[in-house]
Amino acid sequence: MTDLTLRLSRTIDAAPAAVWDVLTDLTRSAERLSGVESVQIMTPGPYAVGTRWRQTRSFFGRSSTEEMWVRQNHPLRYTVIESGEGEATFRTVWQLEPIESLDDDGRCPTTSLTVTFTATAGTSALGRAASAVLGPVGLRATRRALHRDLDDIAAAAQDYPRQESHPEGA
């Protein structure tokens, strides 16, 4: 098996709850994430392990639709999303870490959001060849897409009204 991995992080001026809400609100993904054209949710209920959806993105100038599912989930901490079938599988891990800094009010919550993407190609000759040729190109395109996603998530989370990110008593 051949694995290609990349890891990106960003500090967001919003509480983890706001970042989590943006990250896991699949119904609004297409309006919040500029690289996502559409989302079709396939399972009813809240975002949780087993949630499945089809996501269409523009990639290499073309629309590409992938079925995705939540493999692991710990609200406000991390979520693991998988997609792919056959020779190639993809795993995306989103991790949130609260950071407290001080402002004039004595508190200004921020969140470190880290995404780790891993593409695994099969062991067949075709899988190894595809990984060797397309891997670096695909990884560069994926890096750009994930940078854009981090920026879009940050913008949406920072737009949350302060009371939504800080419920009374929290």
pLDDT digits (tens, 9 = 90+) for 53-79: 999 998 777 888 999 999 999 999 999
Distance from C-alpha of 138 to C-alpha of 50, rounded to nearest angstrom: 27
Please give the model's pTM, rounded to 2 decimal places: 0.83
In a domain, 140, yes or no: yes
Taking each helix axis from N to C terminus, what angle separates 125-158 and 16-24, rounded to the nearest 10 degrees? Answer: 130
Residue 21: both structure tokens together: 């809400």
Task: Find which of 58-62, 91-95, 140-144 is predicted with most confidence, using mean pLDDT.
Answer: 91-95
Of residues 123 and 111, more confidently modeled: 111
In a domain, 106, yes or no: yes
CATH of the domain at 133: 3.30.530.20
Task: Give the closest residue to 40 by CA, choosing from 58, 23, 57, 18.
Answer: 57
Number of domains in the chain: 1
In a domain, 114, yes or no: yes
- Decide if 63 contacts 43 (C-beta within 8 A): no
**pLDDT at 161 > cutoff 80:** no
In a domain, 37, yes or no: no
User: What pLDDT is attached to residue 106?
Assistant: 60
In a domain, 84, yes or no: yes
In a domain, 41, yes or no: no
In a domain, 83, yes or no: yes
Q: Exposed (0-12), middle (13-18) or buried (19+): which is 129, by Cβ within 10 Å?
A: exposed
**Residue 156 sits in which domain range?**
2-24+71-165
In a domain, 51, yes or no: no
Burial 72-106 (b: 16+ CB within 10 A, else e): ebeeeebbbbbbeeebbbbbbbbbbeeeeeeeeee
